[in-house]
Chain A
Amino acid sequence: MELRLPELSEKNNETILTLWHVAESERVSTGQDIVEIATDKATFDIPAPCSGTLIKKHKTEGEKVAPNGMIAEIREDGS
């Protein structure tokens, strides 16, 4: 499953990936915070949409993330 930047409606602001809470190959559970992003005045923890394994990070800390941009891929349990 693709993890993409959610719509925050944060106008005129670039979004930066500021902190990974988990490593590649690590198991994640639905709702677990896996990555933090930041705009000018706000940080936002993005939770895992499903349980599984974080198989690939598409961004590193400090990188900009485009609207709806790909952040990571998660292999769902049972897939």
Chain B
Amino acid sequence: MDVRDLGRITYEDALEVQLALVEKRVQGYIPDTLALAEHFPVLTLGRLAEERSIIDRVYFEERRVPVVCSNRGGKATYHSPGQLVLYPVVDLGEKKKDVAFYIDFLERTVARSLRRLGVPAERDGSRRGVWSGGRKIAFIGIALKRWVAFHGVSININNDLEAFSRILPCGESGIKVISVRQVLGHSVDMTRTKEIFTRQFVSDLQSEYSCETRSIEYHAIRGEVKKSGGGNHGVEAAGTFRKE
């Protein structure tokens, strides 16, 4: 399994990277891959987002926050630095062709990672996402091509939550959101946080899908994303280490 830390990257560039990974995964050229990212401020609208999802359009215009229509499932959500986004590119066709099970899996692995950070986190049987104390802390929206899943989960870690009050997160009114920083009363180290989520994801993918992942190739990406594309999916890898 490959793990690629994209660092801080625009939503559009991350999508470009994902689409390249999906194409290669569909062709069988690469293994399942978990991409990690933080985004510059952006409001994204999933395929089922409604006009009413943006409550305060002026707020985003004044801050020059781009609004991007995305090909993922779900409705409206907001990304900004300090929020961790997991983009697993996983071939469900060779594991289990069940979209609901995969979303359940994403919720479970994110909740377990949050608990390892010391955050009480749980799933809600009637609503998607991951919750802490009745407030939403992680948001899910995925897409599939030939049963290769992409897009994924965003988790509020150290990010500012003000913008969430200017939208209807996931199209639902009355939802309150929360972050790891708010729950714990202090910020957490993003590098350690990424490692916790990565280890949990790989472990849970193996156990819940009964698949063998002999090793993890971790590509720590630093610096700018190359716009020219090419054989490295448009991303410059600054370092690589192998974990067993």
Residues in A lying within 8 Å of B, measured CB to CB: 7-11, 13, 16, 18-19, 31, 33, 36, 38-45, 47
Q: List 15 A-B contacts (CB under 8 A).
A: A8-B98, A8-B100, A10-B100, A11-B100, A16-B48, A19-B47, A36-B47, A40-B48, A40-B73, A41-B142, A42-B99, A42-B141, A43-B46, A43-B143, A45-B146
B240 shortest CB reach to chain A, Å? 32
Task: List the count of A-B residue pairs having beta carbons below 8 Å apart.
Answer: 61
Q: Which residue of B lies closest to A45 (CB)?
A: B145
Q: How far apart sit A47 and B145, CA to CA, in the bound complex (Å)?
A: 8
Residues on B lying within 8 angstroms of A by beta carbon are 46-48, 71-74, 97-101, 103, 128, 140-146
A9, A41, A42, A47: most-surrounded residue (chain B CB, <10 A): A41
In the bound complex, how far is the Cα of B140 from the Cα of A31, in angstroms? 27
User: Inside 8 A of A11's CB, which chain B residues have their CB?
Assistant: 100
Question: Can you name 12 extra interface pairs (CB under 8 A) apart from A19-B47, A43-B142, A47-B146?
Answer: A7-B97, A8-B99, A9-B97, A10-B99, A33-B145, A36-B47, A38-B48, A41-B74, A42-B99, A42-B144, A43-B143, A44-B143
